[in-house]
């Protein structure tokens, strides 16, 4: 994520601040907000962890064959949320894909936007089950799928509301916690819901980072298939790339990749080892297998998974393995062409520098990121291998221009190499929040509880449901400069951060609703 001072265009016209500055945050939170926040952390420090443990125990990964409102696990998760809400003295309403948990009455409302679904997970990569809150493997850390994205924020929001209720604070606005069950997979049900449901007038989303997020890059996809039909036959007796694959899902920087070199020699292995040894953060393993008359070298690569919106936080095993293989020219067999495509069009960079003229950056939102995330063998003899590249683009180019540049780069590569099939180019729109009058309150609370002077709003590469709610900006749960672990195979939130979030959420809700 790129962190720079906020452009004046992102602020309310009514806020008279110098260009490039955030709203003034000199005013500290009220005494009642601070006292309630400290009460929440001291009283519910154990309870919030226990509730998080309940929430992560449900595997709420989307099932493409069963909509969320009919998914038994999602329904059970919502029942657990209902029980927690009732236990805490909060009201509850189930609207199918969306749950609303409320405190107080009134036509004026403050919305807290979260999601209860989570990304896919590989249990083999976890010390314990990813759906059991691991409190012991790494002292101080709470490990589980959803701990940071987004069940930790749900748990803290619940206890922030509980603390406000305990104190009997008079509220001028009703507080509503929205838990949407399709943020990671399908936004359309929420879009449809908001066509008939009036959202709150003031909203914060707990699904990104601090100090506050006022701009999000547009997500996109460049997917191509290297078809078997267009590839060359394996060279007789010569070494060639017989297999190449890697990645788990489109929004995760892949930490696993593998390749098979047929008719390999010890000299080829030595060269690949030497090139791979230069890749920081990568681990490679090599094994030999006799297949008929061919001696095959199998290479497995392990990097570091991360959210695809923050490729700088990971080590892309797909990109690095392709680069490790760049020790000699490879024939354009199906897998060989995949390696050539990755090395010639992407390389080990993360900003699309080699993909024609697509690379660009915005002074606030930062550069476009461009990362291969899934390389998979399509079914059938003629299926070929699909290469999916996830991009996150800032403002500064139109979708038409960027699409044209992507297609031009693909055309040039095909002219040099071989025809591609099933080309898909999808370019999402970046988003900028220009109307968030509660932004100074968020900055004030963040500054008070962290000690950070003059905090500035930031832009992120990810997309949140802030886009769908009026005036919404994201507020946590991740701290600036810290690796965001959502979507990774090492997702966690620290106990310290969970309690800090609880204090800040409580204080913000007191300030916005009182």
At 410, which CATH number? 3.30.70.360
- If one counts every other C-beta atom within 10 angstroms of the C-beta of residue 418, the result is 18
Q: Are residues 154 and 272 in the same domain?
A: no
> Would 16 be classed as within a structural domain?
no
Q: pLDDT at position 12, please?
A: 29
Q: Collapsing DSSP states into helix, strand and coil, what is residue 493? A: strand
By C-alpha distance, which of 238, 229, 231 is closest to 332?
231
Q: Are residues 466 and 365 in the same domain?
A: no
Q: Are residues 213 and 230 in the same domain?
A: no
Those residues whose C-beta lies under 8 Å from the C-beta of residue 72, and which sit 6 or more positions away, are none
Q: Collapsing DSSP states into helix, strand and coil, what is residue 10? A: helix
pTM for this predicted structure = 0.91
Bridge-partner residues for 178, per DSSP? 100, 113
| Domain-terminating residue out of 427, 456, 483 | 427
Q: pLDDT at position 381, please?
A: 57
> Would 9 be classed as within a structural domain?
no
Helix axes 151-167, 495-513, angle to 10 degrees: 50
Q: pLDDT at position 230, please?
A: 85
> Rounded to an integer, what distance in angstroms lies between the CA atom of residue 225 and that of residue 108?
51
CA atoms within 13 A on the CB side of 475: 34
Is the alpha carbon torsion for 506, 508, 513, 514 positive or negative? Answer: positive
> Would 7 be classed as within a structural domain?
no
Q: 199-228 pLDDT, tens per residue? A: 999 999 999 999 999 999 999 999 999 999
As to burial, measured by CB atoms within 10 angstroms (0-12 exposed, 13-18 middle, 19+ buried), residue 300 is middle
Q: Are residues 260 and 385 in the same domain?
A: yes
> Would 11 be classed as within a structural domain?
no
Asked if residues 62 and 185 have their Cβ atoms less than 8 Å apart, the reply is: yes
Asked if residues 104 and 169 have their Cβ atoms less than 8 Å apart, the reply is: no
Q: Where in the sequence is the domain holding 158, given as residue range(s)?
A: 25-217+431-513
- Token pair belonging to 87: 């236990």
Q: pLDDT at position 361, please?
A: 98
> Would 100 be classed as within a structural domain?
yes
> Would 19 be classed as within a structural domain?
no
Tokens 């800040």: give the residue.
Answer: 504
Q: Are residues 411 and 437 in the same domain?
A: no
Q: Are residues 396 and 452 in the same domain?
A: no
DSSP E strands in 263-384: the ranges are: 283-291, 294-302, 306-307, 361-362, 366-367, 369-377
Q: Are residues 236 and 127 in the same domain?
A: no
Q: pLDDT at position 271, please?
A: 98
Phi first, then psi: give them for residue 50, nearest 5 degrees. Answer: -65, -40
Query: Which residues in the chain land under pLDDT 50?
Result: 1-22, 24-25
Those residues whose C-beta lies under 8 Å from the C-beta of residue 145, and which sit 6 or more positions away, are 56, 59, 118, 119, 121, 130, 131, 491
Specify the number of domains making up the chain.
2
Bridge-partner residues for 404, per DSSP? none
Q: For residue 96, what is the domain's CATH number?
A: 3.40.630.10
- Token pair belonging to 299: 């290479």
HEC letters along 268-295: HHHHHHHHHCCCCCCEEEEEEEEECCEE
> Rounded to an integer, what distance in angstroms lies between the CA atom of residue 18 and that of residue 11?
10
> Rounded to an integer, what distance in angstroms lies between the CA atom of residue 283 and that of residue 375?
19
- Over its C-alpha atoms, the chain yields an Rg (Å, rounded) of 25
Q: pLDDT at position 377, please?
A: 94
Q: Are residues 380 and 494 in the same domain?
A: no
Q: pLDDT at position 380, please?
A: 67
Q: 432-469 pLDDT, tens per residue? A: 999 999 999 999 999 999 999 999 999 999 999 999 99
Q: Are residues 30 and 135 in the same domain?
A: yes
Q: Are residues 176 and 272 in the same domain?
A: no
> Would 346 be classed as within a structural domain?
yes
Cα-based torsion angle of the residue sequence 71, 75, 77, 78 in order, rounded to the nearest 10 degrees: 140
| Domain-terminating residue out of 427, 448, 476 | 427
CA dist list (Å): 496 to 140, 180, 213: 7, 26, 22
CA atoms within 13 A on the CB side of 102: 18
Q: Are residues 359 and 387 in the same domain?
A: yes
Q: pLDDT at position 26, please?
A: 55
| Domain-terminating residue out of 372, 403, 427 | 427
> Would 8 be classed as within a structural domain?
no
Q: Are residues 383 and 258 in the same domain?
A: yes
């Amino acid at each position: 994520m790129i962190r720079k001072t906020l452009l004046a265009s992102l602020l309310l016209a009514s806020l008279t601040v110098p260009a490039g500055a955030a709203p003034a945050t000199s005013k500290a939170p009220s005494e009642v907000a601070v006292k309630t926040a400290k009460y929440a952390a001291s009283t519910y420090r154990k309870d919030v962890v226990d509730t998080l443990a309940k929430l992560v125990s449900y595997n709420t990964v989307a099932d493409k064959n069963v909509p969320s409102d009919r998914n038994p696990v999602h329904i059970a998760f919502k029942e657990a949320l209902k029980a927690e809400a009732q236990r805490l003295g909060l009201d509850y309403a189930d609207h199918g894909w969306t749950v609303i948990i409320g405190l107080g009455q009134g036509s004026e409302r403050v919305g807290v936007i979260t999601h209860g679904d989570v990304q896919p997970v590989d249990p083999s990569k976890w010390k314990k089950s990813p759906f059991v809150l691991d409190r012991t493997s790494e002292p101080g850390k709470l490990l589980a799928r959803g701990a940071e994205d987004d069940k930790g924020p749900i748990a803290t929001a619940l206890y922030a509301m509980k603390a406000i209720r305990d104190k009997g604070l008079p509220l001028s606005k009703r507080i509503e916690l929205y838990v949407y069950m399709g943020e990671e997979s399908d936004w359309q049900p929420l879009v449809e819901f908001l066509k008939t449901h009036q959202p709150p007038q003031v909203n914060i989303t707990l699904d990104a980072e601090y100090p506050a997020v006022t701009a999000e890059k547009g997500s996109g996809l460049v997917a191509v298939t290297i078809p078997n039909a267009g590839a060359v036959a394996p060279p007789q007796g010569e070494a060639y790339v017989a297999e190449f694959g890697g990645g788990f899902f489109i929004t995760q920087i892949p930490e696993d990749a593998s390749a098979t070199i047929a008719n390999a020699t010890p000299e080829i292995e030595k060269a690949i080892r030497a090139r791979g040894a230069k890749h920081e953060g990568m681990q490679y393993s090599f094994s030999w297998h006799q297949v008929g008359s061919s001696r095959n070298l199998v290479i497995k690569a392990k990097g570091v998974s991360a959210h695809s919106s923050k490729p700088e936080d990971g080590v892309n095993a797909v990109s690095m393995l392709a680069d490790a293989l760049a020790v000699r020219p490879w024939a354009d067999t199906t897998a060989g062409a995949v390696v050539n495509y990755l090395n010639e069009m992407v390389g080990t960079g993360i900003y699309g520098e080699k993909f024609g003229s697509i690379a660009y950056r915005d002074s606030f939102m930062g550069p476009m990121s461009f990362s291969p995330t899934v390389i998979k063998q399509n079914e059938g003899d003629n299926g070929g291998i699909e290469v999916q590249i996830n991009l996150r683009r800032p403002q500064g180019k139109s979708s038409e221009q960027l699409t044209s540049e992507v297609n031009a780069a693909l055309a040039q590569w095909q002219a040099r190499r071989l025809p591609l099939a099933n080309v898909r180019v999808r370019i999402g729109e970046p988003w900028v929040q220009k109307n968030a009058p509660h932004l100074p309150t968020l900055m004030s609370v963040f500054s008070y509880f962290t000690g950070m002077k003059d905090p500035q709003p930031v832009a992120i590469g990810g997309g949140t449901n802030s886009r769908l709610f009026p005036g919404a900006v994201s507020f946590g749960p991740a701290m600036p400069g810290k690796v965001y672990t959502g979507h990774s195979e090492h997702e966690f939130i620290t106990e310290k951060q969970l309690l800090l979030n609880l204090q800040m959420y409580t204080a913000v809700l007191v300030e916005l609703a009182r």
